[in-house]
A and B are shown apart, each in its own frame.
Chain A
Amino acid sequence: MVETLLAFDDVRAGYGSAVVLDGVSFTIPEHGGLAVLGRNGVGKSTLLLTIMGYTRVGRGHIRWRGADVTRQPPHRRALAGIGWVAQEREIFPSLTVEENLTVAARGGRWNLSSIYDLFPRLAERRRNHGNQLSGGEQQMLAIARALMTNPALLLLDEPLEGLAPIVVEELTDAIRRMTKEGSNAFVLVEQHADIALSLTETVLVLERGRIVHSGTSADLLADHAALDRLVGLRLVEG
């Protein structure tokens, strides 16, 4: 039996009095990837923010390695082993690339040299400040910064959004190599459904804050009709 890393049990969450997610239950095992798909504004980012502890949870429980963390503040969850790659990347502009990587680093598989192997471009830019990077480089840095905390679970919020096709390819490769390492589980929220499904083992589809489909990524990838109905077919051209 595979140990459960994270479990949502009938969670209702949102901001202030607005409810964004409702009745959400799922589990994430120790290894492997979970894709979270759905149209814009269905609560995908909110799901990740709720895992991190940034939203208001009105009902239900969140468990991390069996312990209830529903009320735990974000920095405690990060220290417990959750790494977060925010949708807006949120690089620290007044820190250099290397400082961005080391500022919150914790020991483990990922260190500066293994990170620079994974993203050679960051090594070239190590002395640059966070605000001097291209969009693709910022995204690499955001992923690398989260990996440097050596999380047991990595949350990736639309890492390929708004990037040129060639950069998408480069990043997809890096994510694939990272997941092959198998040192951490990950959740991938992505608009590029085909890429997300090819990188993960299981998938959740959200609609208006509720889970409307869950299953294996391979099955959904093969079922074009279901994919079109659930997320609106979004395959990368050409």
Chain B
Amino acid sequence: MNETSLNISIREVTKKYDQFYALKDVSLEIKSGEFMTLLGPSGSGKTTLLMVLAGFTNPDYGSVKFGDEEVILKPPHLRGIGMVFQNYALFPHMTVEQNVGYPQKLRGVSTAETKRSVEEALSTVKLEGLGHRGINELSGGQRQRVALARAIVFKPKILLMDEPLSALDKKLREEMQIELRQLHDTLNMTTVYVTHDQKEALTMSDRITVINDGELMQLGTPNEIYEHPNNHFIADFIGESSLLPVAVRNGKASLNGEEITLAEKTKKSGDFLLVVRPEKAFLADKKVKGSNYFVGNLIDSIFQGESQLLVVELNSGDDDGREVRVRVPNESVTQKALPLVGENVTIGLKVADSYVVS
């Protein structure tokens, strides 16, 4: 264990409201110094879990340890965590300096040391010289930075963030994602970050915990979560996948009655969903071995700047028209004419990319 961070050990944390589980038997190890994102749709329980860590919500039972110390019975003000709230929760009656200096004042830090640490924290978040401003004179992005400076000024070993970037516009949000990640790498405190934005989670995290309906769905690196979702909820939630029903009988997989080859050969018999990522699928001129092919009708072609998104309706035996999305590079880059809406197209998907989820 190093000095600037602590590991977090969550065991069997359960919180029930009437008949509804906000958290159901959640167990999770967060490594010291790790950037862990809790990802899930709204109402999934991710914020509840963060509030349990902060001490604002008491679970029905369960254990939360910071390092070796059990904290679940401790009130929030004794947990020594830094926290950034969704709406920043700055103190409007104090200046920037007073906001950032607040935790230092509570800790009885000397005036000189408080001044020094406030300046350091403000410079870490690139707000040097704004100390005397009132909170109402700041832009949304600046408030975000003040909230961050206030949470790190006393060098907590654990930093909790509750959707801190959701109120910012897209461009600023993307800049801040990278900045927050760099900040984490500099300060090296254990960070637990809550978001519903899968792209944000993939960009920033060391590991991601996907939560849905109060249950832990999958825990892994961004790469693992994206490339190998372990169920259809995650396959659907992360990325813009198309999910196609696949039947496996006696070791042979078929889609719309046509046999296909899967990346994993050992699937048991049953019904599964084939995950087709738009960027993994491609337009095929001719069929070559090593890929699966689907024929369909191009029903929409959407220009998206650097790429073109094609929406293809597969020709299926039953009238159940399945859509597949295919992302192809922009025409001017490839110098190849794209098919027109209404034309029949053949889509390829490499066997290595053909995986199914249940």
Partners in one complex: no
- Give A contacts to B, CB under 8 Å: none
- Give B contacts to A, CB under 8 Å: none
